[in-house]
Amino acid sequence: MAQIIGLPKLSPTMEEGVLVKWVKKVGDKVSPGDLVAEVETDKANMDFTIEDEGTVLHLFVKEGETVKLGAPVAILGKPGEDIAALIAQGAAPAAAPAAAPPTPAKPAPVAASPAAAAKPAPVAAAAKPAPVVAAAPGPGPAPGGRLLASPLAKTLAVELGIDLRTVTGSGPGGRIVERDVRAAASDGPRAVATTAIVAAPAVASTAAASADTALATVGEQAGDWIDVPASNMRKRIAARLTEAKRDVPHFYLMRRFDPAPLLAFRTRLNALLGDRGKVSVNDLIVKSAALALRRVPACNAAWVGDAIRRYQRVHVGIAVAIEDGLVTPVVRDADLKGLGVVAAEVADLAKRARERALKGHEITGSTFTVSNLGMFNIERFTAIINPPEAAILAVGGISDEPVVKDGAVVPGKRMTLTLSCDHRVIDGALGAKLLAVIVEQLEAPEALAL
């Protein structure tokens, strides 16, 4: 019997995807494991494989369209089946985008409450504003289903790509005001925020000026800015990093150390490797972090609300900048792998990240992340934790500096590592211990071979 196939979750944080390319077309037979389509998620282009058997009878979605998770994409069945009812059923929600996607396994909230569905919800909500004073501050809509936000906060949220439902309001009755949205955005994409500050009055001004000639002198010139539509990935990064910076109590620990032994060690390693590959400074730091997490397991952990989850394996994420975004492919069991293997894996992951060819499992499940901006001559920086991980290591560049050795100032090298810690999981002394072990191993890099 014919059935509707919904868009499956292809990455853990996926909420929607762009159907990039249909591999199968109407009339094609498919069996479990077959590649049906390519879907761009917030992370990468993913393969959409099918778990059922049958013939493709109908496609709901055109290439390039954005589809919500669970929304119907195709009908599968036997050739010649009458699928008119299914097409109508699948097409219906598309006409009303606000409706929840009909995933058979998970009934939509509206369906669960027939009374609520029968009553036109927007009218009910508008007619009965939430009591302003009674509502307690907190994220999400106020009692009564209304989200209290000032007009400015709403305008700003649209411009900064902030979901107001994720913002905690500090105004009366939990009303979200400008400062809350700016706080939520402050550690997201900085350039976007700056543009919006300029654009905000301009947008309002244009609208009002056209409506009232008395305000003709108020308006700003059109063309003073452009809005670049945010990609799925960019929106997701904005939301995730905002959440992380706002909800995770970060603190930062910094260590400067002498990278000279590390550089010498790397030179020896690369000589030994010859044309079998190269080990980078970053690979050595990844390896050191992995070993250190094994020695200080309390840091290889996550805050899960009512417990601290200690991971039993060490998977290190590597932050990789790609065009208009950022992904963190994962070196699994990095503590157990030899330096050559780590180096080869990192090189391969980074290359495929830039080609957007990573699979879902390759970008999920890290327990700690290393972010390196040394190649951009950044001396040191603080990174935002990649939740649910409890820490992230920010790696700065190597600089030539005068250093004091045996009471004399001599030329030397210095490098700075900054560990951002989630204070709910890692206290100061614990974080310091992890950083100390990482640095100790880098200063005596033979330890990395043990």
Among 146, 207, 155, residue whose Cα is nearest residue 182: 155
Q: Which of 331, 329, 379 is nearest to 354 (CA)?
A: 329
By C-beta, is 217 or 221 nearer to another protein?
Answer: 217
Strand order in the sheet with 250-257: 250-257, 408-422, 391-405, 368-372, 316-318, 330-331
Interface mask toward another protein for 239-258; x: CB under 8 A = --------------------
Q: How far is the CB of 154 from another protein (least distance, A)?
A: 7
List 152, 260, 321, 326, residue binding another protein (CB under 8 A): 152
Six-digit token string for 108: 């939509």
Count of helix runs (H) and strand runs (E) in the chain: 12, 18
Cα–Cα distance measured from residue 344 to residue 349, given in angstroms and rounded to the nearest whole number: 9
Residues in 173-212 that interact with another protein by CB under 8 A: 177-178, 200-201, 203-205, 207-208, 212
Gap between the Cα atoms of 53 and 28, Å rounded: 11
The interface region with another protein, picked from 103-111, 170-178, 224-232, 396-404 by CB under 8 A, is: 170-178
* Nearest-approach distance from CB 162 to another protein, in angstroms: 15
Nearer to another protein, 191 or 214 (CB): 214
The residue among 65 and 178 lying less far from another protein, judged by its C-beta, is 178
Identify the burial level of 64 via C-beta atoms within 10 angstroms of its C-beta, where 0-12 means exposed, 13-18 middle and 19 or more buried.
exposed
**80 contacts another protein (rule: CB under 8 A):** no
Task: Report the catalytic residues.
Answer: 423
Choose between 153 and 342: whose C-beta lies nearer to another protein. 153
- Kindly tell me which of 146 and 154 has the beta carbon lying closer to another protein: 154
Distance, CA of 279 to CA of 271 (rounded, Å): 10
Distance in Å, CB of 241 to another protein, minimum: 24
Among 143, 172, 402, 428, binds another protein (CB under 8 A): 172
Site for another protein (CB under 8 A): how many residues?
23
Q: 406-424 burial by CB neighbour count: b if 16+ within 10 A, else e?
A: eeeeeeebbbbbbbbbbee
126 is a contact residue toward another protein (CB under 8 A): no
151 makes contact with another protein (CB under 8 A): yes
Please state the closest distance from residue 108 (CB atom) to another protein, in A. 33
| Residue closer to another protein (CB basis): 204 or 263 | 204
Residue 173, C-beta contacts closer than 8 angstroms, at least 6 positions apart:
130, 131, 132, 133, 134, 135, 137, 142, 148
Determine if 51 is a binding residue for another protein (CB under 8 A): no
Cα–Cα dist 74/71, whole Å: 9
Decide: helix, strand or coil at residue 152: helix
* Interface ranges with another protein (CB under 8 A): 150-155, 170-172, 177-178, 200-201, 203-205, 207-208, 212, 214-215, 217-218
